[in-house]
Structure 1
Amino acid sequence: MTAPTCGRLIGASLGPGDPALITRRAWACLSGGARWLYPVKKAEESSYALGIVERGGLAIPADAEALVFPMTRDPIALAKAWSRAATRTVALLREGRDLVFLVEGDASTFSTFGHLARVVRELAPEVEVETIPGVSSFAAAAASTGLTLAEEDETFAVIPAAYGVPVIERLLEEFDTLVLLKVKPLLDEVLALLTRRGLLATSCFIEKVGSPDERVVRDVASLAGEKVNYLSLLLVQNPKRVRGELRRGCRKHAHEPA
């Protein structure tokens, strides 16, 4: 007898909040009979990713299942949560049915899915993993605010604000635009840096982009002292940055004939 075939694990990117940004490929996957898995911070808590799909008009299957990924820095608690989630995922995959994991934003960018897929592969190397790309929060934020991330030869970087002010300040010298994700814990410190560098007027704050609760704040100084949502970011443009010389065109190597 041949061993039963495992189902595939599919990460379906849903975009950051607007169901109109769900790609046709992700929509087809959600409608195709795979069992749904979705992330929550606590048991019985609502899921932001599931809410995106609900607003899009798709009915939630009766057998959709939540996986708990707690918001904690406790390594022991995190290890236990990841182990439980991955073990349950592998058990379901071995029933032979595909699983689709709902991902807010893009599944390859600062996503829970990448870690889940890695742990699942460690437990069951035979599992096939598919990632469906989607719209990232920072791409949607740039579009929503009318700002550009980069033009022509400009550069931009995307980092979690948790790397701290010294790193952010150093990157301001290297990039024309910085996207600072998850700014909630360091917002006041970042605002102080932008004030000192004269960049308040060329910065923009976006919270829960694409959702019904989206908020855009262009007067970012007004956010000082405020507790913002976890799903928030800052777009910081640095028009004063001095750029180095660019090498353009294609040069022939010395050993190539003229």
Structure 2
Amino acid sequence: MNNDLPSLRYGRLIGVSLGPGDPDLITRRGWTALQSDARWTYPVKKAEERSYALDIVVRAGLAVPADAVELVFPMTRDAVALAKAWARAAARTAELLAEGRDVAFLVEGDASTYSTFRHLARAVRELAPEVEVETIPGVSSFAAAAACADIALAEEDETVAVIPAAYGVSVIDHLLDEFDTLVLMKVKPLLDEVLDLLEARDLLATSCFVEKVGSPEERVVKDIASLRGEKVNYLSLLLVQNPKRARGELRRGCRKRAAATEIGTVATTAEEAA
């Protein structure tokens, strides 16, 4: 009996961040991964539906390989349906990795920020713990949105928070007093409620709406009150700045320690002189 049979060698699972929509924002590292021998996989909401992530690559001028595989991640809050979809996607990905070839999962935006990829990687590792995972970082949608809207996310000692708008207006209201800039992701379901809050807080003029940033359908709206009652795209966000926010005194530990050292040195020198 031969006990020296080769063990199964899995390929690497690579999360390839593509940026939020503009193909020119694909990093060199991401571009290299796309042109490697890695098998492409990409997310869709329904079988044989258009993939936003895949569209970015196509607009970059790359041909979709004949063996590229779609993975279905339905837009639903049905826990049972979601669990089944995740199980299918993870099993299919593990099956591809078991062929020994790397698998590149195409990710819009950044693979570490509100991304399907991290969830997929965990699910795959539950099936095959030995799978190596590589994450290629990319430009986040809110960084690209701030750039195209000519807005600074933070300057000097300012603070930034990034949250899904789904946390609700009470949480948003609280965070407006804690951060200089608030990035509200996926604002579609609560847009009118958020607009009402920003109007009450007198922050409409210092807020900006950005939809499908970097794509051919990109839209930047600075008169955000005009959006009331409008059905916006799922891929939309609000950048909210609160210039009137009261800030506490900053604790600059290094500077204080440096000052204390200087005082101690002066005192020692004075004692020696005496």
TM-score, normalisation: structure 1: 0.97
Task: Please name the residue that 2:176 is paired with.
Answer: 172
Task: Please name the residue that 2:39 is paired with.
Answer: 35
In structure 1, how many angstroms separate the alpha carbons of the residues matched to 2:40 and 2:63? 11
Q: Secondary structure at the match of 2:244?
A: coil
Deviations 1:185-238 (A, max 9, x none): 000000000000000000000000000000011100000000000000000000
Gaps of 5+ in 1: none
From 183, 201, 208, give the equivalent of 2:212.
208
CA apart distance, 1:248 = 1.7
1:190 counterpart = 2:194: yes
Task: Please name the residue that 1:222 is paired with.
Answer: 226
Percent of aligned pairs sharing the same letter: 76
In structure 2, how many angstroms separate the alpha carbons of the residues matched to 1:144 and 1:118? 34
Deviations 1:127-157 (A, max 9, x none): 0000000000000000000000000000010
Opposite residue 148 of structure 1, the aligned amino acid is A
CA apart distance, 1:252 = 4.2
Opposite residue 107 of structure 1, the aligned amino acid is A
Task: Please name the residue that 2:116 is paired with.
Answer: 112
In structure 1, how many angstroms separate the alpha carbons of the residues matched to 2:180 and 2:249? 15
CA apart distance, 1:124 = 0.4
Opposite residue 239 of structure 2, the aligned amino acid is L
Opposite residue 52 of structure 2, the aligned amino acid is Y
Task: Please name the residue that 1:19 is paired with.
Answer: 23
Task: Please name the residue that 2:271 is paired with.
Answer: none
Q: Secondary structure at the match of 1:107?
A: coil
Task: Please name the residue that 1:241 is paired with.
Answer: 245
1:84 counterpart = 2:93: no
Task: Please name the residue that 1:199 is paired with.
Answer: 203
Runs of 4+ deviating beyond 3 Å: none
1:160 counterpart = 2:160: no
Task: Please name the residue that 1:55 is paired with.
Answer: 59
In structure 1, how many angstroms separate the alpha carbons of the residues matched to 2:158 and 2:63? 43
Opposite residue 20 of structure 1, the aligned amino acid is D
Opposite residue 133 of structure 2, the aligned amino acid is V
In structure 2, how many angstroms separate the alpha carbons of the residues matched to 1:248 and 1:86? 47
Deviations 1:72-98 (A, max 9, x none): 000000000000000000011001000
Q: Secondary structure at the match of 2:104?
A: strand
Opposite residue 193 of structure 1, the aligned amino acid is L
CA apart distance, 1:4 = 2.7
In structure 1, how many angstroms separate the alpha carbons of the residues matched to 2:253 and 2:102? 48
Task: Please name the residue that 1:98 is paired with.
Answer: 102
Task: Please name the residue that 2:270 is paired with.
Answer: none
In structure 1, how many angstroms separate the alpha carbons of the residues matched to 2:176 and 2:8? 53
In structure 1, how many angstroms separate the alpha carbons of the residues matched to 2:147 and 2:125? 36
Q: Which has the higher helix share?
A: 2
Q: Secondary structure at the match of 1:91?
A: helix
Deviations 1:5-24 (A, max 9, x none): 10000000000000000000
In structure 1, how many angstroms separate the alpha carbons of the residues matched to 2:48 and 2:13? 23
CA apart distance, 1:249 = 4.5
In structure 1, how many angstroms separate the alpha carbons of the residues matched to 2:253 and 2:43? 47
1:6 counterpart = 2:10: yes
In structure 1, how many angstroms separate the alpha carbons of the residues matched to 2:101 and 2:228? 49
Task: Please name the residue that 1:129 is paired with.
Answer: 133
CA apart distance, 1:184 = 0.2
Based on CA coordinates, which of the two structures has the bigger radius of gyration?
A: 2
